[in-house]
Chains A and B, each alone.
Chain A
Amino acid sequence: MNQAAAVKPAFPDSLSLAALAVAGLLCLPLAYVAYMALTANAAIWSRLWTTRIPELLFNTTALALGVAAGTLVLGVSLAWLVARREFPGRQIWEWALVLPLAIPTYVLAYIYSHLLGTGGPVESAWQVLAGPGSHLLSPHSYAGVTLVMTLDTFPFVYLLARAAFLNLNVSYEEVARACGVSRAGTLFRITLPLMRPAIVAGLSLVILYVVSDFGAVSLLRYQTLTYAVYQQITGRYDPTAASILSLLLVVVALIFLVAERWFRQRSRFFQTTGRYRAPARRQCGPLAATLATIYTTGVVAASFGIPACMLAMWSVSAVSSGAVDARFFGFVWNSAFLSGLAATCAVLIGLPLAYLASRRPSRVNLLCLQAAYAGYVLPGPVGALALLAIVSNLAPFWYGTAAVLVIAYVVHFLPAGLQSMEPALQQVTPNLEEASRSLGFGTAVTLRRVTLPLVRNGFIAAWVLMFLQSMKELPATLLLRPVGFDTLAVRVWLEASEEYYQLAAPSALLIVIMTIPAILLLLSKDWRAA
């Protein structure tokens, strides 16, 4: 019955070969960028080192650290509030605080560039208070970009910190109290140190997100490495300089990733086994409840409520002025078609990788899976640059087709999908399939009646996730799309760049509305478990 396992094939079978090929393909863009950068003329390197690189590195790092600090404060304090305190409306806020994840950075950026911009509502209100001629922070500054990115990414930290607050065995805190340490002392000496791995994981997500973000920095005109790569490709047609900056960007992202891995390894805490008791929420007094409500309401309003209202208002006036026409539905179709195609391809490509890694975890198969995660450190413009170069060198007739764009999406978003497909496959133990075989069913029937039903939900989640990510994707779409083939995301960015805020709104609102149920769906799985 177990022939396949007993007789070990001397050379890789067709499935392994397919996985190897896919992994190679997924790594190709990264490898090509590195190759282009390293074989570039030394003069270009030294020119970039003396002109652009110091400024770009500084800007990128400063933005990453600033946003990290902001999300740390917001995310951890909000998580503590909803996980450990009880106040009216707590359940609503606990849930509403993840909604900013539904707003792409370029949407939030363009709304804030209106809100905080010269002559915008916030500045007008401020000038009533502080007198004409006074200015608040400009959206086109370091502070402005940091604010926008912080409001958009704090849910990463919030979610992981909240889970950690809820999962922490309350005995640790009770023991600390029994040792004579106050509530506040316990929080800082026990709870937060024990949560460190979760907080660091959240921060590293934020930093990776910020470093590779293109939408917000391009709309707010803040020079980071990602933005510079895009400009080198579009404005200067200088793929060599772009590849050098790309390599630098990948290295920066890798440094953050490796640092996070190292830290997590170092501070991996072993929970002593035993029974677990969930912490109880403490009731807030009237004053504390008011403050908590003001704080959470303010954050939700700034990061989701007000932007969503602005989008809705603008959309209404755009609709009444006839902006939602056949052309608009064409963009919707383009987005849906491209994203659907990319998600389907990615699931099909991810399947052999995830299957082999979970069923036959040989060194080669695991390496293939790791290679698929290369897209993680490949920000949109970098992947686009690599594909542009590869296609124009090897297959020029593909240039400017939707196929290239689909490949870019797959490379970029497969890691996110794999994270959902891998556990789904892992939970199907071989025993289950063997049990079905022992009951007299063949491989095909077993696959249909046992394996597929079990992995279905994980794969659907992966598909939805990759569909939405592709739909929101901006830089690669801008660079690789066939002429005149605009998607919703591209329209938002193009209209917003020209400050046609109302025209951008319907597309942006559609993206946000489509993303919300998916986010709730993905969260609901580990919401209460956390």
Chain B
Amino acid sequence: MFQSESMPSNEPARQSTNPPQAHHRPTVLELRHVSCIYGSDRPAITDISFAAQEGEIVCLLGPSGCGKTTTLRAIAGFEPVTAGEIRLEGRLVSAPGHLIPTEQRRIGMVFQEYALFPHLRVQDNVAFGLQHLSFGERSAQVRLMLEMVGLTDLAARYPHELSGGQQQRVALARALVQKPAVLLLDEPFSNLDPDMAGKMREDLHDLLRRTKTTAVLVTHDHDEAFAMADRIAVLNNGRLEQLDTPEAVYHTPSTPFVADFVGQADFIPGTIEHGTVQTEIGTFPNQTGYPIGAQVVVMIRPDDIHIVPAEKSFAHIVARQFRGSENLYTVGLPSGQVVHSSEPSTTVYPVGTPVQLQLNATHTVLFDRDLHP
């Protein structure tokens, strides 16, 4: 019961996450200290820097208004930058006073609403950007592309005759047939129902890998980012808070915002004492360089806390939320602080049960108490 298979592994798998030989691949996209600050009506971005290697999938993750779409549109050339520079395939495409038009950037774009041209058939939508090719070559490429996304049968349909998932695949095909240097995707799954989104996520990941496409994907959904990304850039208020692998972003977030945004997190106040952190729920090893006596908070995820019923315990269960694959318990501490614990789906304790907390975090994530809101 306590060791069922569904227990999540607490081992942070940080080493196996980069795409193979990522460091030997050429850099396709590079943003250096990019700022886009216009009026108060549009989200601004400040000093964003990151790079994407060939074949890499980078996710821009953040809440609405954080500037992730602005970043994407700056890469596409729809928004000018007010500071810094953007390079595509080594070519300077955006800098203050310098803007290579979108059509000369070799980018592909998939919009949230797909923006399929309603007056063109599927095949003409896909062929739209291939005007420079001969008729035969064009139709051959379109056929190949439609085959790849599995839409050969629907080539003669109009966009409004397709389902949401099919429309998205047409939008993908239209972008990929250009063989873009980088594919930009703006919340591509938000118009699909959850089941379809999960399926499309797998298909898209597979397609991007097969075509070795470099992609930048904007999303507000951390699960989507985890599933798709090689690396995640977490944005907040127009600033880049963390750029890391999905696992690192989850397990060792660099700011309280990131910790909170990418998953459920509790922040327990504590004090540094001789290489450890003393908190209400126990002692943690201090792995960072805080001085003795410093006031900190320890970030703990529900899967780092295991609860066991114990008669004389100071903590007790306040609420239970059944989530199908797990039970999420809210545990009240004497100070009024609550922590959450994730237990297997079949582990059911009634509300009010006194419980003991067992911590099995392998690393301690500490933040300055003043930083934590």
A 170-205 binary contact with B (CB < 8 Å = 1; else 0):
011011111111110000011001101000000000
Question: Contact at B159–A178, with CB atoms within 8 Å?
Answer: no
A178→B114 CA distance, assembly (Å): 13
8 Å CB contact of B128 from A174, A179, A272, A273: A179
Knowing A175-B174, A178-B107, A178-B109, the reply to whether A270 touches B118 (Cβ < 8 A) is: yes
| Interface residue from A177, A194, A273 paired with B113 (Cβ < 8 Å) | A273
| Chain A contact patch, size range | 20 to 34
Q: How many angstroms between the C-alpha atoms of A253 and B76 in the bound complex?
A: 49
Measured between beta carbons, the chain B residues less than 8 angstroms from A273 are: 113, 191
| Residue from A180, A181, A193, A270 within 8 A of B159 (CB atoms) | A270
Nearest residue, chain A, Cβ from B161:
A270
Give Cα A193–Cα B112 distance, bound, in whole angstroms: 22
The listed residue with most A CB atoms (<10 A of its CB), out of B106, B117, B158, is: B117
Decide: A275 and B113 in contact? CB cutoff 8 A. Answer: yes
Is B292 among interface residues, defined by CB-CB distance under 8 A? no
Contact indicator A179/B174 (Cβ below 8 Å): yes
Q: State the CA gap A272–B120 with chains docked (Å).
A: 13
Chain B CB within 10 Å, residue with most, of A174, A183, A189, A267: A174
The answer to whether B117 and A174 have CB atoms under 8 Å apart is no
- For window 65-80 of B, CB contacts with A under 8 Å fall at 76-78
Contact with A along B32-76 (1 / 0, CB 8 A): 000000000000000000000000000000000000000000001
Q: Does B119 interact with chain A (Cβ within 8 Å)?
A: yes
Are B115 and A174 in touch, CB under 8 angstroms?
Answer: yes
CA A356 to CA B87, docked complex, whole Å:
64
CB pair A272–B113 under 8 Å, yes or no, is: yes
CB-CB under 8 A from B129, the residues of chain A are 176, 178-181
Contact residues in B for A263 (Cβ distance below 8 Å): none
Mark contacts of A210-246 with chain B using CB atoms, 8 A cut-off: 1 yes-contact digit, 0 otherwise: 0000000000000000000000000000000000000
Q: Which of A169, A182, A269, A275 contacts B119 (CB 8 A)?
A: A269
The answer to whether B160 touches A270, judged by C-beta atoms less than 8 angstroms apart, is yes
B73-100 Cβ-contact flags toward A at 8 Å (1 or 0): 0001110000000000000000000000
A274 in contact (CB, < 8 A): yes
B309 contacts partner chain A, Cβ-Cβ < 8 Å: no
**Do B112 and A271 touch (CB < 8 A)?**
no
A-B contact count (CB 8 A): 87
List residues of chain B with CB within 8 A of the CB of A178: 76, 102-103, 107-109, 129, 175, 184
A269–B161 Cα gap in the complex (Å)? 11
Q: Does B4 contact A (CB under 8 A)?
A: no
Asked whether A176 and B119 contact (CB < 8 A) given A273-B113, A274-B112, the answer is no
What A residues does B118 contact at CB under 8 A? 194, 269-272
Quick one: which of B102, B129, B167, B191 has the most chain A CB within 10 A? B102
Whether A171 and B119, one on each chain, are in contact in the complex, defined by CB atoms closer than 8 angstroms, is: no
Q: Which residues of A contact B114 (CB under 8 A)?
A: 272, 274
Q: Chain A residues near B111 (CB, 8 Å)?
A: 171, 174-175, 274
B101 within 8 A of A: yes
Task: Find chain A residues with CB under 8 A from B128 CB.
Answer: 176, 179, 181, 189
CB under 8 Å from chain A, chain B span 156-173: 158-160, 167, 171
Q: In the complex, what distance in Å separates the CA atom of A175 from the CA atom of B117?
A: 9
User: Shortest CB–CB separation between residue B155 and chain A, in angstroms?
Assistant: 18
A394 to B293 alpha-carbon distance, docked (Å): 108
B180 to chain A minimum Cβ distance, whole angstroms, is 8
- Which of A172, A176, A274 has the most chain B CB within a 10 Å cutoff? A274
Q: Does B364 have its Cβ within 8 Å of any Cβ on chain A?
A: no
Taking the complex as formed, is B3 at the interface, i.e. its CB lies under 8 A from any CB of chain A?
no
Beta-carbon contact of A169 and B103 below 8 Å? no
Q: Is B116 an interface residue (CB 8 A)?
A: yes
- Could you say which of A172, A180, A267 contacts B115, with CB atoms under 8 Å apart? A172
17 A-B contacts, Cβ less than 8 Å apart?
A: A172-B115, A172-B117, A174-B102, A174-B111, A175-B109, A177-B78, A178-B109, A178-B175, A179-B128, A193-B119, A196-B119, A270-B118, A270-B158, A272-B159, A274-B113, A274-B114, A275-B112
Q: Give the top 4 A-B pairs by smallest Cβ distance, nearest first.
A: A274-B113, A179-B129, A270-B160, A171-B115
A positions within 8 Å CB-CB of B: 169, 171-172, 174-183, 189-190, 193-194, 196, 267, 269-275
Known: A175-B109, A189-B128. 17 other contacts (CB 8 A): A172-B115, A175-B111, A175-B115, A175-B117, A175-B174, A176-B117, A179-B128, A180-B106, A180-B129, A183-B101, A267-B119, A269-B119, A270-B118, A272-B159, A272-B167, A274-B112, A275-B113
